[in-house]
Amino acid sequence: MSDPAVPPTPPVPLAALLAREDLALRQIAGPADGDIVIHWAHTSEMADPYPYLLGGELLLTAGVHIPEAAGSGTYFDDYVSRIVAAGGAALGFGVAPVHDTVPRALVAACEAYELPLLEVPPQTTFSGVARAVWQLMAQARHTELRRVTQAQQSLAAAASRPDPIPSVLRQLAQRMGGRAVLYGAEGADIAAAGPELEEEVRRALAELTHVVAGRSSTTATDTVAGIHLAAYALGAGQGFVLGVATPSREPGDHTIASVAAVLLALLTGEHQSGTGAARSSALVRLLLGAAPQAVASLLGGERWVVVHARPDAHAPDTVAASALGAALGSPLVDLGRDVVRVLIPADGPADGPADGPSDGPAGREPGPQPGWTLGVSAAVAPPEWASADAQAARALARARATRTPLVRHGARPALADLIPEEEAEAHARTLLAPVVAVPALTETLRTWLSLHGSWDRTAVALSVHRNTVRQRIARCAALLAADLDDPDVRMELWFALRRL
């Protein structure tokens, strides 16, 4: 028979089922192999259960089908051979109500065909055995999901380190309990982590990578000298291959290795691409003292938009931040403790598709993203990146306070623009001098005014208690010697804050 069509659930070791004291099962025949697993439990009283088995079952029977003269013929040999031919994993025989003991001929047949035979005591029901199998499956599935989730988080964290490729390989080797190797386009080892392999295994793993490198398959597996081998092609046309060698194959291993392969594909693709090299060059130039406008062309634009974003349901992580950058069409992503910042060229195509409507010749504007709250700056030239960052931060605070998916910083001409810049700034510094030395007061006043004096919305925007907002505004009113309920005072303060 072909391989059983097992379900997408973790198998249950037969030993784990035998260890359940509440079942009191006892193995009386067949191999005591710790590697024997069960994929499900099935009850049948058919003399020939073959047509009803899928493979991998613990078949449960009370022997109703057994004729009185079965022990003197070939009945039990035929019965057990058909179970084995169908791929059955084990046989459970219920003692009572039909039989007082397990027939000796059945025990002999199970020994001959190496089929594990379990004695099910009278107090244990078949439904109880089936329930125990599913309970063990659920526990195994939970353990597997937790292991995969923890591995995904650690791999994503490793990918964000300064040395991402070696870090991902080290984390993968640790999680898999084996060795992880990154092979280059010519089959040479680029980087590796984990214990060294024997020459035979090392050579077999290298040969396996040629299978996926030649594009006859994107993945390939093999077993050599008891070591499980797997190879994963990294992206289309890159030529990089991930090889993994482990002493055992655990549930979830393929998922964990696939996550690592995706991350490595992104990392190796980044290193190969011209845009990745340009971004690295721009970073180096900035660190060595170049002005932002001198490196802007390497990054893909002359005018830029800054986006501040917070996920609605949880703190941002590396994978979510990368996904947001891809959705907004820019790889220039910065992950903070509770906010993600994205720098987007506003006057030319980036590495991904544009979202949102066009804004005339300036290019595109970011649109709302499901599950995120966004604040978007005005389009600025590179020397104004810092001010755009502040604009996006304030826009995000307003979006969160008003529960709006996206708020853009307003850039239309205003009456304040009619005043010469130097005079406006001098007036603003003079007017706000009593509070400007305390950033918390200045920002609270700015946010409170922008939200029309709402205590609750200001508290949400600043992530403080509403009483704290009241105390700060009262302090501002005292220091400024101003009536903040007067709309003229509020307007003048708002113009001054915008100048700062």
Taking only the tens place, the pLDDT of each residue in 80-113 is: 999 999 999 999 999 988 999 999 999 999 999 9
CA distance 304 to 119: 74
pLDDT score at 302: 76
Same domain, residue pair 231 and 332:
no
124 has a pLDDT exceeding 90: yes
323 has a pLDDT exceeding 80: no
CA distances from 239 to 165, 212, 260 (A): 16, 9, 16
From 408, 424, 457, give the residue that closes a domain. Answer: 408
Residue 295 forms part of a structural domain? no
The arithmetic mean of pLDDT across residues 5-14, rounded, is 70
Same domain, residue pair 400 and 428:
no
pLDDT score at 352: 38
What's the number of domains the chain is made of?
4
pTM reported for the whole predicted model = 0.45
The arithmetic mean of pLDDT across residues 156-174, rounded, is 85
64 has a pLDDT exceeding 90: yes
Residue 285 forms part of a structural domain? no
Residue 147 forms part of a structural domain? no
Report which of residues 196 and 336 the model is more confident about: 196
CATH number at residue 41: 3.40.1390.20
Residue 152 forms part of a structural domain? no
CA distances from 468 to 307, 428, 430, 500 (A): 28, 25, 26, 23
* Residue 245: DSSP 8-state: E
Same domain, residue pair 197 and 234:
yes
Same domain, residue pair 324 and 423:
no
Residue 132 forms part of a structural domain? yes
pLDDT score at 132: 94
Give me the sign of the Cα torsion angle 345, 321, 404, 446: negative
Detail the DSSP E strand segments found in 44-178. 57-61, 90-94, 117-120
pLDDT score at 362: 38
Same domain, residue pair 17 and 123:
yes
Six-digit token string for 472 = 């700060």
pLDDT score at 356: 35
Residue 202 forms part of a structural domain? yes
Residue 155 forms part of a structural domain? no
Query: Per mean pLDDT, which of 227-236, 279-288, 361-370, 471-480 is the most reliable?
Result: 471-480
CA distance 357 to 109: 75
123 has a pLDDT exceeding 60: yes
* DSSP-derived 3-state class of residue 455: helix
**361-371 pLDDT tens trace:** 334 578 888 88
The arithmetic mean of pLDDT across residues 126-152, rounded, is 89
Looking at the chain, the whole-number percentage of residues with pLDDT higher than 70 is: 87
Same domain, residue pair 431 and 493:
yes
CA distance 52 to 42: 9
From 251, 272, 293, give the residue that closes a domain. Answer: 272
Same domain, residue pair 20 and 125:
yes
Q: Report strand pairing: 26-29 vs 37-38.
A: unpaired
Residue-number span of the structural domain to which 253 is assigned: 161-272
From 388, 408, 428, give the residue that closes a domain. Answer: 408
Same domain, residue pair 224 and 306:
no
Q: 91 phi and psi, to 5 degrees?
A: -125, 130
Residue of 315, 305, 303, 307 whose CA lies nearest to 334: 307
CATH number at residue 210: 3.30.450.30
pLDDT score at 152: 87
**b/e per residue 60-80 (b: at least 16 CB within 10 A):** bbbeebbeeebeeeebbeebb
Same domain, residue pair 123 and 211:
no
224 has a pLDDT exceeding 60: yes
Same domain, residue pair 132 and 16:
yes
Same domain, residue pair 328 and 395:
yes
Query: Where is average pLDDT lowest: 225-239, 349-363, 392-406?
Result: 349-363
Residue 464 in contact with residue 473, Cβ under 8 Å? no
pLDDT score at 499: 76
Residue 349 forms part of a structural domain? yes
282 has a pLDDT exceeding 90: no
479 has a pLDDT exceeding 80: yes
Q: What is the mean pLDDT of the chain?
A: 83
Same domain, residue pair 173 and 209:
yes
